[in-house]
Homo-oligomer: A and B are copies of this chain.
Amino acid sequence: MLYIGIDVGGTSAKAGVVDENGNILHKDSCPTGIERGHEPVIHDIAQLALRVLDGSGHALGEVCSVGIGIPGIQDPRTGRVPFCTNLGWHDVPLVELMQAEIDKPVYVTNDATAAGLAESIAGVSAGTRNSVFVTLGTGVGGGVIIDGKVFLGPHGVATEIGHMITVAGGELCTCGNRGCWERYASASAIIREGRRLAASQPGSALARAVDGRLEAIEARTVIDLARAGDSQCTEIFDNYVRHLCVGLVNLINLYDPEVIALGGGVSHAGAFLLDKVNEELPKLVFYKAMPRARVELAKLGNDAGIIGAAMLGRREG
Contact = CB atoms under 8 A, between A and B. Distances in A.
Interface in A271-303: 284, 286-287, 289-293
Contacts of A258: 154-155
A217 interface: no
Contacts of A184: 168
Given A168-B166, A168-B167, A161 B253 contact: yes
A197 to B, nearest CB: 19
Given A166-B168, A246-B168, A255-B153, A286 B175 contact: yes
A155 B291 contact: yes
Interface residues of A, number: 52
A130 B154 contact: yes
A232 B160 CA distance: 35
A156 interface: yes
Contact of A156 (B77, B154, B256): B256
Contacts of A147: 147
A316 B141 CA distance: 33
B75 A157 contact: no
B254 A156 contact: no
Interface string A212-254: 0000000000000000000000000000001100100111111
Contacts of A287: 73, 82, 155, 157, 160
22 contacts: A129-B154, A130-B154, A154-B256, A154-B258, A155-B287, A155-B290, A155-B291, A155-B293, A156-B290, A157-B252, A157-B287, A158-B255, A160-B286, A165-B249, A165-B250, A166-B166, A168-B184, A168-B243, A175-B286, A177-B249, A177-B284, A254-B255
Interface of A: 73, 75, 77, 82-83, 129-130, 144, 146-147, 151-158, 160-161, 163-170, 175, 177, 184, 242-243, 246, 249-258, 284, 286-287, 289-293
